[in-house]
Structure 1
């Protein structure tokens, strides 16, 4: 069996968007690299016109090549590129093929597939670090735009009660449930937006690692989900956007508490 492989060179910020787009035209294996990523599909299923249309809007920001290859062991290839991630002195993210490291108080086992949230990206790291500083014990938590479900899993590991999550991508919802099972973490996942969720009345903690424009649009909705004194943790935006995000949060009654930065990315904590 032969596979068609597309090798995409792009910025780190654009890579996440393009991986989601290429998944929508049938590519089912993605391997990130230092220049972008490569994705594969069975050659019999490859539609060059669909790929061209999918990338058309980004032509001035990316370059890509297409080639046909014999079938590779994509799991082995992915494993050779994936290393455990130290989030803090307390927490490590690892794949199931890595041994556990007893020096960490917490660990999360992740098989990311095509979903976002391996711990390698700065925003995921920052969100997890903020979670480690907030009491989750017996709290109800919502993870909006959950990707791999890594933040929802962290909430359960930290002692949360009910954890609800949502994502607009089918594969992310499936992956989130798989990763929750790997970590013996019971979460409830809805495929859709926050409006589609089977929600509790209120949550003590709401997590949203998405992007600036979505956050600005949905912060009022997030606020409506949070208990009095509860927390909102946000990421997916840059240092220069923090003032704008804070202004929007303040406008709906959310109080800025703190933020963390890494490589110009930010995760901020607000209180309702």
Structure 2
């Protein structure tokens, strides 16, 4: 299935509000840019009427323009190859495509072929999650990466010494892409890519670490399940939401039994670490 990309030009304070509104009608991935942001949704979930209604409510509150277009599987490669630049995160992690030069001077190198999946490290949430992962002991751990996208966090977990990583996503091409990227980084023996939502974990034993970079609504809905699937004492890393949503995420996490530890903020996006009590 193809994506719809909604390109929005709006001032920052209005853009933050619009992202929250669009998330409520099914948009699940957002990328900031100098003029506003891009929002993405599966084509079969896209409602032009919902978008028009949201935008109409905020006309007159600053310069606001928007347009949508279909991004097909065929042209997605051209889109990311045209714009994908190599990236260094926390001065320790190189994220690049196969056609970029290697960075042997850095501790970790992740090679990503995004295809139609999201998660190259360029979005603030992915960069924040990678940075937080560097502070978590993965050695010998069994890791779950929910909403894995390209599998970049799963690859990072494997490079940090995880014994096994289960990478789960609801989109068939995303699960395929995560598996391909595991092979690209020579961690296919550690990373298993699986198609599905939270129900794909049925029968699984609790994990030592959970990584969940999805979006606010999915995190809130699945919070009780995360609590079931994380062993006592284990950390869970969240991202995919704005700074103003942290209080709601924290309340739901604490209601599920998690204990807040820390969070990082980058361009209003957040990655937070909680822990299951021992």
SS at the partner of 1:103?
coil
The residue aligned with 1:205 is 209
The residue aligned with 2:230 is 226
Determine if contact 1:115/1:147 at 8 Å carries over to the other structure.
yes
SS at the partner of 1:113?
coil
Where do 4+ consecutive residues of structure 1 move more than 2 Å?
A: 6-15, 17-20, 32-39, 50-57, 59-67, 72-80, 197-200
Determine if contact 2:168/2:196 at 8 Å carries over to the other structure.
yes
SS at the partner of 2:121?
coil
Q: Check if 1:86 corresponds to 2:88.
A: yes
The residue aligned with 1:145 is 147
- Root-mean-square deviation (Å): 3.1
Q: Deviations over 1:18-50 (max 9, x none)?
A: 698xxxxxxxxxxx98666799xxxxxxxxxx8
Indicate how the Cα distance of structure 1 residues 7 and 203 shifts in structure 2: closer, same or farther if over 3 A, else same.
closer
The residue aligned with 2:158 is 156
Cα distance in 2 for partners of 1:7, 1:243 equals 29
Q: Check if 1:59 corresponds to 2:32.
A: no
Indicate how the Cα distance of structure 1 residues 181 and 222 shifts in structure 2: closer, same or farther if over 3 A, else same.
same
Indicate how the Cα distance of structure 1 residues 73 and 221 shifts in structure 2: closer, same or farther if over 3 A, else same.
closer
Cα distance in 1 for partners of 2:164, 2:148 equals 15
Out of 7, 10, 15, the residue aligned to residue 9 of structure 1 is 7
Q: Deviations over 1:145-186 (max 9, x none)?
A: 111111111100101011111111111111111111100112
Cα distance in 2 for partners of 1:84, 1:133 equals 22
Cα distance in 2 for partners of 1:128, 1:9 equals 26
Indicate how the Cα distance of structure 1 residues 199 and 124 shifts in structure 2: closer, same or farther if over 3 A, else same.
farther
Determine if contact 1:19/1:114 at 8 Å carries over to the other structure.
no
Determine if contact 2:150/2:177 at 8 Å carries over to the other structure.
yes
The residue aligned with 1:184 is 186
Indicate how the Cα distance of structure 1 residues 229 and 65 shifts in structure 2: closer, same or farther if over 3 A, else same.
closer
Determine if contact 2:265/2:271 at 8 Å carries over to the other structure.
yes
Q: Check if 1:196 corresponds to 2:200.
A: yes
Deviation (angstroms), 1:198: 6.2
Q: Check if 1:267 corresponds to 2:260.
A: no
Count of aligned positions: 242
When normalised by structure 1's length, the TM-score is: 0.78
Cα distance in 2 for partners of 1:224, 1:91 equals 31
- Specify every segment of 5 or more residues in structure 1 that has no aligned partner in the other structure, as ranges: 1-5, 21-31, 40-49
SS at the partner of 1:226?
coil
